[in-house]
Amino acid sequence: MSMIIKFIVASIASGTPILFGTLGEICHEKVGHLNLGVEGIMSIGAVAGFMVGYRTDSFVLALIAAFIGGALASLLYALLTVTFMANQNVTGLTLTIFGVGLANFIGYYALQHSENGTLKLPENITAQMRNVSIPGLSNIPVLGELLFSYTPFVYIGIITALLLGYYYKRTKTGLNVRAIGENPAAADAAGIKVTKCKYLNICLGGGICGIGGAYTIMIINKGVWISDCVGGLGWIAVALVIFATWSPVKAILGSFVFGALRQIRYYMPNSIGISTAIYDMLPYAITLLVLVVTSVRMVREKSQPAACGTNYFREDR
């Protein structure tokens, strides 16, 4: 019993960085931009968050820096694809290579200049980002552990997802955003400021990805800087968008499933004796499976925004 609860708790935690990446990518795709640069954006968010945290000793400032770092990376992407009409796939892939490289470079530089050859976040921050315990609630048996025993990231992620879901479904701006992703020419003709709306949402998406990046370095790596800290989670996040059928709320569930896939190896009895390579492969194999299944059966409303992947130029025909 306690084992199962532990597994669930670990899965939820483990899915959280993916959740951020997925939410960020959804923000991109809702305005019709497929961004394959999530991995790079998360890396930039990670390094920005880490470095600011390292210098300022403030968790909140670190989070803000991670958001801004990610948003700036996406701003670059928006500049290239929205304004200069560069190919979205190529730009995204380039951004991945650039982002990961830049983060590693900055990290390497900082390591060179650190006193003892390692980079570790100060204790003050690590304390703040540890699991919050809410007096009273966290002590309820089972439920307390299941619901109120996480890092702040988990709560931020879930709240972000719910807010985004509300934004797209219930607000006027959300409707405009969806219209842009489906048919920018129609949105334009209806008087929506397409370019402005694209920039804002793409940058918002980048910022959310950036926080996911901060998670990888602060929680997964326990506040110690290493290179390639995002380690492929950005790619899973892109795939998870499809799993979540472009719904931020469903992304919560999806990310926890993927979190479970990443955790399952630690909760299997040793006697089964599955090679660890199989576990490593699991999330990717499921992603493939999901891609196949979802591409077979798709309701119009639940599929990718129709204009996703193509740039919009008013005078095009």
Partner 1 sequence: MTAQKENNVAIECRGITKRFGSVVANDKINLTVRKGEILALLGENGSGKTTLMNMLSGIYHPDEGSILVDGREVTINSPTDATKLGIGMIHQHFKLVEVFSAMENIVLGTRETLQKPKEMKARIEELSARFGLEIDPQEKIYNMSVSEKQTVEILKVLYRGAKILILDEPTAVLTPQETEKLFEILRRMKSEGNAVIIITHKLNEVLSISDRVTILRKGRSIETVVTSESDVHSLTELMVGRPVELSIDRPPVENRSEILKVVNLSIRKPDGALALNDVSFTINRGEILGIAGVAGSGQKELCEGLVGLLSVEKGAILYDKENIVGKTPAEIIDLGISMSFIPEDRLGMGLVAGMGMVENMLLKSYRSKKGPFVKTQPAREQAQRLIKRLEIVTPGVDTPVRMMSGGNVQKVLLGREIESSPNVLITAYPVRGLDINSSYTVYELLNEQKKKNVAVIYVGEDLDVLLELCDRIMVLCHGKITGIVDADKVTKDEIGLMMTGEQLQSESETEGEN
**Residues at the site binding ligand ADP, with contacts judged by CB under 6 A:** 315, 317
- The interface partner of residue 217, options being partner 1, ligand ADP, none and the CB cut-off 5 to 8 Å by kind, is none
Cβ-based neighbours of 308, under 8 Å, separated by 6 or more: 29, 32, 33, 34, 181
Structure tokens, 288: 């493939």
Query: Contact 194/83 with Cβ under 8 angstroms?
Result: no
Cβ closest to partner 1, residue 181 vs residue 205: 181
* Minimum distance from residue 77 beta carbon to partner 1 (Å): 24
Q: Which two tokens stand for residue 20?
A: 């951020």
| Distance of closest approach, residue 315 Cβ to ligand ADP, in angstroms | 5
DSSP 8-state secondary structure symbol assigned to residue 253: H
CB of 120 to partner 1, least distance (A): 49
Partner touching 183 among ligand ADP, partner 1, none, CB below 5 to 8 Å by kind: partner 1
CB of 91 to ligand ADP, least distance (A): 24
How many residues does the structure list for the chain? 317
| 224 phi and psi angles, rounded to 5 deg | -105, 130
Instruction: Work out what residue 291 binds among ligand ADP, partner 1, none; the CB cut-off runs from 5 to 8 Å by kind.
Output: none
Q: Which is nearer to partner 1, 192 or 229 (CB)?
A: 192
Kindly tell me which of 191 and 273 has the beta carbon lying closer to partner 1. 191
CB 18 within 8 A of CB 230: no
Residue 242 amino acid letter: I
Task: Decide whether 155 or 313 has the Cβ nearer to ligand ADP.
Answer: 313
The entry of partner 1, ligand ADP, none near residue 118 (CB within 5 to 8 angstroms by kind) is none
Residues 6+ apart with CB under 8 A from 19: 157, 158, 161, 212, 251, 252, 255, 256
Task: Catalog residues that contact partner 1 under the rule CB under 8 A.
Answer: 170-172, 175-176, 178-179, 182-183, 185-192, 300-301, 306, 314-315, 317
Of residues 114 and 171, the one with the C-beta less far from partner 1: 171
CB 77 within 8 A of CB 55: no
What is the DSSP secondary structure assignment for residue 148, as one 8-state letter? S
Tokens representing residue 310 in the block: 């193509």
Compare residues 297 and 317 and give the one whose CB is closer to ligand ADP.
317
Minimum CB distance to partner 1, residue 251 (Å): 19
Q: What's the min distance (Å) between Cβ of 82 and partner 1?
A: 16
- φ and ψ at residue 140, rounded to 5 degrees: -60, 135
CB atoms within 10 A of CB 273: 7
Q: How far is CA 223 from the centre of its chain?
A: 18
Q: How far is the CB of 247 from partner 1 (least distance, A)?
A: 13
Nearest CA among 220, 202, 295, 181 for reference residue 18: 220
297 binds, among ligand ADP, partner 1, none (CB under 5 to 8 A by kind): none
| Residue closer to ligand ADP (CB basis): 301 or 316 | 316
Q: Which is nearer to ligand ADP, 130 or 314 (CB)?
A: 314
- CA 83 to mean position of chain CA atoms: 24
Q: Which one-letter amino acid corresponds to residue 190? A: A
Minimal distance in Å, beta carbon 187 to partner 1? 7
